[in-house]
Amino acid sequence: MKNEFRLANKKDIDNILSIFFSAVENMKNLGINQWDELYPNEDVIRNDIENNKMYILTINDTPVATIVMNEEHDKEYNDLNWKYDFKEASGKVSIIHRVCVDPNIQGKGIGKKIVMLGEEELIKQGYCAIRLDAFSQNPFALKLYSCLNYLYVGDVQFRKGKFHCFEKKL
């Protein structure tokens, strides 16, 4: 089985959209009301790809998971007490968004693998820390980030409810 971590490209869009649509449906079935038809939508995903911010993990050349890494964050992040602030230092802080694993292969460590590969890529790019938010009612995401030693820093409120915010020094 051949695995590859790489930037997503326009040729991947149909497979990526399929992963997200399946994940939304799967989360609804599990009672996790995190994503819907409004977010993340096709425009958001296309924008991630066009701006070279979405990475994918492939198995045998087929995308099975996504992660978006950039420096964009919602204004709600400004009120949190982040531990790692590198504004005065030479390092940069990245934000992780839209980690998504094809529901057909969830539970096999793919989520953990793509986040760890994302961390390695960010280190190569000179980032010193990562921040993210995870839906407070998504036990799978919360377990993933806890397992990977992300530190809880507080909560923010978005359209779908409360999100826990985490960070990690690289």
pTM of the model: 0.93
Distances (CA, A) of 10 to 23, 46, 52: 20, 8, 10
**Is 90 exceeded by the pLDDT of residue 111?**
yes
pLDDT value of residue 107: 92
Percentage of the chain lying above the pLDDT 70 cut: 96
**Is 90 exceeded by the pLDDT of residue 1?**
no
pLDDT value of residue 37: 84
Q: Where are the beta strands (DSSP E) in the chain?
A: 3-7, 54-59, 62-70, 92-101, 127-135, 151-158, 161-169
Beta bridge partners of 93: 129
3-169 domain in CATH 3.30.70.260?
A: no
Quick: pLDDT tens for 124-151: 999 999 999 999 999 999 999 999 999 9
Quick: pLDDT tens for 26-45: 999 999 989 988 889 999 99
pLDDT value of residue 87: 62
